[in-house]
Amino acid sequence: MSEIRQLAEKAREAARALALTSTKQRNEALRAMASALVDRQSEIIAANDEDMVAAQANGTAAGLLDRLELNRSRIHAIADAVRDVAALPDPVGQVVAGYTLPNGIELRQVRVPLGVVAIIYEARPNVTGDAAALCVKTGNAVILRGGSLAARSSVAMTRVLSAACASVGLPADSVQTVEDTSHEAATELMTLTGMIDVLIPRGGASLIRSVVENARVPTIETGIGNCHVYVHEKADPDMATRIVVNAKCQRPAVCNAAESLLVDESVHTTVLPQILEALEAQGVTVYGDEKTRALGAISSIEPATEDDWSAEYYELKIACKVVSGLDDAIAHINRYGTGHSEAIVTEDYSAAQRFLNEVDASTVYVNASTRFTDGGEFGLGAEIGISTQKLHARGPMGLAALTSTKWQALGSGQIRE
């Protein structure tokens, strides 16, 4: 049996035991995990150092190196996040629906763990802590498969987290890592039908594509974000500028950052120049259509190509298009958007209503930045990712997204006539 299949077998066994634990036991495990991360931080940092040295030797980009690095304060932050999850209400056991059937059967629909959750992610050691905490909290066994750059960090963290689970009587296999970081191992994980209850890829477009192409187990697509801000003719110009700049610049490398700006033709000569100037002041490169470029508002606007309408830049770049009005804007967004987060800026009631109802995305905003699409911001307490698909969960996924339900039927001898 392959390493991956063995892991999955052990995860299934752990999931069966986890499903029978109490909220109290699982919260205790989370607190033990948080303490262990801090207590054994030297061990984790030493492993991370090896990852960092290898990554630097490979000429890894500074941004990636920054995401890879673990230090004392980051480990404390991860431990704090794990403790925060322990403090959240437990969705498992929640009765979602319940009633008595005409024949007297008492029926109730109860939240239960999914079982085995697999998470494929990139070289971000904090995800290891987050994902493990969210899964154990909800009674799921988790199989983590992080990026190869962070291989040693992941193994070290998982060793600590797994021991912490065992220290309070939960299965050590509640948290496991796939040590083999090859593509083949990831693909095998994606095809373990009947052994993995859900696979959540957290990463860029190429990871998501690979999962869509290869996965045979149920999956949830996350985090693909070509988000738009649409400045309607009835927009407040200053609010529009503030929202566009925030949506693009506040943290450009994340999936809820804006990648495209749409402006109504009727106001593009009046409102767009001030937005472009504000973007330029933030160092944003603008890829504009002809009408945007013809404004000559800022020193340089690159010509937008068809690719720019679909681009997820994840950096200080934005595509800009002048649209004929609301219909044109909605059509453009529904064509090029990825169904993540879309915003209109307008003071017009009917335009706002139409945008909310007609734009097909996980989250639609009126007069607010797309950057709010986040489990923490939405008050979900934690987030395992942002779903851009429509099945099971859509938008920021909190603890409930890591559960399924089960119908329990209490009878007194009923048979069907």
Give least dist CB 359 to its own copies, A: 9
Number of residues that bind its own copies (CB under 8 A): 69
Q: Is 213 in the site for its own copies (CB under 8 A)?
A: yes
Q: Measured from the CB atom, is 71 or 408 closer to its own copies?
A: 408
What separation in angstroms does the CA of 380 have from each of 85, 134, 333, 399, 403? Answer: 10, 12, 27, 8, 14
Of 65 and 254, CB closest to its own copies: 254
Give the C-alpha distances (Å, rounded to integers) separating 139 from 114, 270, 322: 8, 55, 50
Q: Least distance from C-beta 12 to its own copies, angstroms?
A: 10
Tell which one of 157, 363, 383, 388 touches its own copies (CB under 8 A). Answer: 363
**End-to-end Cα spacing for the chain:** 48
Stretch that binds its own copies, among 46-54, 76-84, 156-164, 355-363 (CB under 8 A): 355-363
* Closest to 47 (Cα-Cα) out of 75, 84, 86: 75
- Cβ closest to its own copies, residue 45 vs residue 220: 220
Which residues in 289-358 belong to E strands, given as ranges? 302-303, 317-323, 341-345
19 counts as binding its own copies under rule CB under 8 A = yes
How buried is residue 96: exposed, middle or buried, by Cβ count under 10 Å (0-12/13-18/19+)? middle
* The only residue of 16, 83, 293, 332 in contact with its own copies, by rule CB under 8 A: 16
User: Does position 234 bind its own copies by CB under 8 A?
Assistant: no
Which residue of 167, 205, 218, 317 would you call a contact of its own copies, by CB under 8 A? 218
Task: Pick the closer one to its own copies by CB: 123 or 190.
Answer: 190
What minimum distance in Å lies between the beta carbon of 93 and its own copies?
9
The reply on whether position 95 binds its own copies by CB under 8 A is no
Is the dihedral angle over the CA atoms 59, 79, 177, 166 positive or is it negative?
Answer: positive
Q: Is 314 in the site for its own copies (CB under 8 A)?
A: no
Q: Smallest gap, in angstroms, from Cβ of residue 338 to its own copies?
A: 10
Report the residue number, 163 or 368, with the smaller CB distance to its own copies.
368
Q: Least distance in Å: CB of 242 to its own copies?
A: 6
Q: Contact with its own copies (CB under 8 A): which of 3, 50, 277, 360?
A: 360
Which of 54, 163, 239, 316 lies at the binding interface for its own copies (CB under 8 A)?
Answer: 239
At 255 the three-state DSSP class reads coil
| Overall size of the chain counted in residues | 417
Residues 329-348 that bind its own copies (CB under 8 A): 334
Q: What letters, b where the CB count within 10 A reaches 16 and e where it falls short, cover 210-223?
A: bbeeebebebbbbb
Residue 272: CB partners within 8 Å, gap ≥ 6?
Answer: 231, 263, 292, 295, 297, 320, 322
Three-point CA angle 117, 123, 126, nearest 5°: 65
Among 250, 266, 269, 285, binds its own copies (CB under 8 A): 250
Q: Looking at residue 203, what DSSP letter applies?
A: S
Check residue 62 for interaction with its own copies (CB under 8 A).
Answer: no
Strands (E), 95-241: 95-100, 106-113, 116-121, 141-145, 175-177, 198-202, 227-231
Should residue 253 be labelled a site residue for its own copies when binding is judged by CB under 8 A?
no
From the CB of 105, what's the least distance to its own copies, in Å? 6
Residue-by-residue DSSP string for 41-104? HHHHHHHHHHHHHHHHHTT--HHHHHHH---HHHHHHHHHHHHHHHHSPP-TT-EEEEEE-TTS
Give the binding site for its own copies (CB under 8 A). 16, 19-20, 99, 101, 103, 105, 107, 109, 114-115, 193, 197-198, 212-213, 216, 218, 220, 236, 239, 242-243, 245-247, 250, 334, 352, 356-358, 360-369, 371-373, 377-379, 389-392, 394-396, 404-417
